[in-house]
Every structure is written in C-alpha cells, then in structure tokens.
Structure 1
Amino acid sequence: MDNTLIYVTGNSVKFEVALNAFNNTGVNIIQMKLDTPEIQSKSVQEVAMYSARWASRQTSKSVIVTDAGFYIEALKGFPGPFIKYVNEWLSADDFINLVKGKSDRSIFIQDCLAYCHPDSEPITFTGTYRGRLATQPSRNQGTSIEKVFIPEGFDLPISDIPPEEMISYWSNGEIMSKFKDYIIKNQII
C-alpha cells in the first residue's frame, strides 16, 4: 500500500490541520497547490467531488480536496458555498451590516472533504461547525468571514484566535476524524 495522500490546497492552515489529524498514523500527507476548476453549485459536496475527481485524474494519484460553505441563518443561508467569491466582494463590516437589526446571529460552516483515487469516484465526508456572527469585526488579518465568525466554544472571531488553537479545533472536527477512520479501517489510499 502506498501510504502517501495528496492534499490539493493552497491553504497552509488546512494542510496543517491534515498533518495534525494524521500524526502518528503512518499516512504521509503531501500538499499540492493545483488550481482545480470550481463548479458553481449550491452543494459543497458537488463542488468538492468535482474538484477531487479532476485533481486525481490530473495527478494519477489519490487526493483529497476540501470545500466549505458559510450559512448565515438570518440571511437564509447566504453566502453558502459561494463564500470564496463573497469574501472577495464583501468586507467584514459588510457582513456585520447585512445582519444589522436581526436578532438571530447564528451561522454554521458546512465542511466537506472529498477523497478520490484516480480509478474511482469520489467519496465525501461532511461536518458542521456552529457559531455566531460577531457584533464588531476583528481588525486582525484574515478573510472577511474569519473576522466575523465566532466558533462555538470561543468568544473571539477566528482571526483573533491563535493559529495553533484553530488547527487543533479543525483537526478534531467531524470530517478529518471520519476520513482518518475510513482510511485506517480500510487501509486504502
């Protein structure tokens, strides 16, 4: 069994999360920056599956790809899986203004990991992270949503939480745990 798995991401935090989750498992995670086509869909699963299938065919290797959607309850789930683009268009202050006057500040992240071997169809693992929208945006570095999303169990937005705490938080989340169990149980890559 080849114990190497390629994580197609340009995001160093996502890669650190995977390294942390697979520490002491015998699985070697390698980061590859590869611009995958990102289809437009209301489903993070469809987006992740398409990208994983494409990347595994391009590399002829087993890959994982992750995609996430941020769903603001008071905005009927906006921006959902379109967060990548909305982060480019809206500032943290814009997000705050969108929920001005609304009592429900709850938000959740739907996270999806798609695993694909070049000879197979993708398999997905999903998880949800709940939290709330801050009343004031962080002034620290980060994306617009990282400056306003306060994960459950925290009192600060993601951009104000030390990176090592967030890596631990994401590493122990549903998708990495489910995927790690699947890979180890089935001894496949």
Structure 2
Amino acid sequence: MEGTFDLDGDGQYEFASVEFDRINGHSISMIRYYEIDIDGFQNLTWELELPDGLLGSFVGVRLADLVGDGVPELIAVANLSENGDETILQPIIFYYKWHDDGFGETPAGFLNLGDEKYFVRCNNFDVFNLDNDDDQEILLSLGSPLRGLSLIDLDEEGNLTMIERLEPSALKTGIGFVYGVALD
C-alpha cells in the first residue's frame, strides 16, 4: 500500500495498492487507487491490469514527483514476458500522470530494463531525490544474472532513462534476492 494522499483536493484520503487475485485458476495482479469516503468506505477510482497476453506480475507501486511540478506521478514496476515464456521475464517501469480527477489511462512513459535474452527480475524499487533538484529518481533492484541496482530518471522529453547501473563485484556471485532502499 502506498499513501495516503489527497490529490484531487476534496478532503478525502486516497491510497494506491498492488493486489493479487485468482481468476479461472490463473494468478493476476493489478494496481488500484482508492478514495476513502466520509463513511470510511474504500471506493475504487482507478485500476491498472496487466495487458492481455502478457505473463507476469506487478512488483510495486509508488507515488513520486518525477517531473518536478509538485504533482506526483504513479510509478508501477512489473516483471513481464511478452511472448508467454516465463523463463524470460523483464522488469518494466511505467509511470502515469495525474490529471484533474485521476490518473491517465495510458502510461506517460515506460522503460524495459531487461535485455530480452535472460530472466531478469526486479525485487523492489524506491524513489528518492538523488541530485537535490525538484524531482525524484527511481532506485530499482535487479536479480540474477545482473544482480545490481539501476538508477532511473526522466530526460528532458519525459522519457524514463537509466542514468547509472550499480553492479558491485561482491554481488556478482551468489543466490537470493537483491533489495535496494533509498535513505533520503
């Protein structure tokens, strides 16, 4: 769960969550954005499901100001396979802009951090202000065979781009997950 917020300014809190379910025997994941009404009920205001035909699941969701305009964007990371081959999962970052009453239906940008040859998974991600400007950057952890961290930012055109990959030699061998956290 990520939140709470009041992005629409109506005095009612909102939050984002990654949710998992089973439909027809298949596990699915989705990102949902809720508003809590004055009676305490959670009302679904926005939902993002994986596109049809893609195998994988969402890793997490964050709200952060990537652009530097004072309005947070919704950032989602998913481990996906385009061709249905679960041996080749790729970490893909999506971000969605907030409009007056909700997030857009299509991503404002996305970035595939895999090389489409190997099974690479993202274990977690975080956001922080790396360079003390008005926007935030993304820290993404990558599992084997890369075993490292990637720093992601927006370029001048609003495209997600990798600005640095950290692959310490001590992490190159071994098993288990790699996790990253930003201390801002």
- TM-score scaled to structure 2, two decimals? 0.32
Q: Determine which structure has the larger helix proportion and give its number.
A: 1
- TM-score scaled to structure 1, two decimals? 0.32
The structure, 1 or 2, with the larger RCO (C-alpha pairs under 8 Å, 6+ apart) is 1
